[in-house]
Amino acid sequence: MEPLRIGVLGAARISEHAIALPAELTGTRLVAVAARDSARAQSFARQHGVERVVDSYEALVEDPEVEAIYNPLANGLHGPWNLRAIAAGKHVLTEKPFASNVAEAIAVRDAAAAAGVRVMEAFHYRYHPVMLRMMEMTSGGELGTIVRVEANMEIPAPPLEDPRWSFELAGGAMMDLGCYSVHACRTLGAFLGGDPVLVSARGREHPGAPGVDEWIEADLGFPSGATGAANCSMAADAVRFSLRVIGTLGEARAHNLLAPPDDDRITVAIGGDERVERLGTRTSYTYQLEVFTQWVRKGGSIPTDADDAVENMRMIDAVYEMSGMGLRRTFGSAS
């Protein structure tokens, strides 16, 4: 296939691992980058072989050589710039969360459908063999009847000036980490009768960050009768990205669902025996970029499309409402 021609919005921390290195490995062209700080854009371009720097986000999305936009901006800017890219006729690979709330997510989905472009939410973990194996064990009877799913995403607290603590920019533990917890539970729900329903949720505001959740715990129920937990914290003592599936015969635990290059283990315990499976350290971002390119070039369907993104945001909104933390507002909204 002809290499996909991608433009990068901003020079965010995640971009090196999420798009620059996968592009190098897959032969994808990074044809342009724009950032609010032109020096950062120049440095990013030099370091990662981006073909040129353009003056603004507006110039990037309108660039005729750019086929697709990678959007790693702050959470509150995902929806607005996804819409701008769609209006310019570009496909979009957008970092999670897809938008600030479900209403904005629906607007993005509908705009993409009307424009005939493809928008993919960057739940990269979904394409790695670690998650594929967890799905297989959930669906295949190896663990018996599944009775519980637990997704736990935690990191130590970022500095207070980090945009993840900004309510206006749609920050919060649920937005940044819990979106993965919710998504993993929803993904496994395909084998447990369908999407889970929210049973209860609780959280705590971060000191010095009004309205922004430091941690949230959400209890779920699946149509099959299994229970679930979608937990997240941006105030933990260490990084933990785990997914645990418990059945009547045993259980399986992915030790690092979001970063298999750091730890690709799944521990499986059945009938008193325990074994460790290693599923490979190739990056999940590389698998994701391959899927995105194939989708743009040849069509078909993918599991992390705009429809899926809307349903994930619907549950995130429900968690915020039930926990009492309040919905994230669309960027610039006065209400």
What is the pLDDT at residue 333? 58
What is the pLDDT at residue 332? 73
* Cβ(268)–Cβ(259) below 8 Å: no
What is the pLDDT at residue 280? 98
Helix (H, G, I), strand (E, B) or coil at 9: strand
Domains assigned to the chain: 5-124+286-304 (3.40.50.720), 129-280 (3.30.360.10)
Per residue in 208-261, pLDDT (tens digit) is: 999 999 999 999 999 999 999 999 999 999 999 999 999 999 999 999 999 999
Instruction: Report how far apart, in Å, the C-alpha atoms of 44 and of each of 10, 48, 59, 123 are.
Output: 9, 6, 17, 23
| Mean pLDDT, all residues of the chain | 97
Q: What is the pTM of this model?
A: 0.97
* Cβ(291)–Cβ(273) below 8 Å: no
3: its two tokens: 């290499």
Helix (H, G, I), strand (E, B) or coil at 8: strand
Percentages helix, strand, coil for the chain (3-state, rounded to 5) are 35, 25, 40
Helices assigned H by DSSP within the chain: 15, 21-26, 38-48, 57-62, 75-87, 102-115, 129-139, 173, 179-189, 284-298, 306-323
% of the chain at pLDDT higher than 90 = 97
Band of pLDDT at residue 335, cut at 50, 70 and 90: very low
What is the pLDDT at residue 334? 42
144: its two tokens: 């018996």
Which whole number is the average pLDDT over 1-12?
93
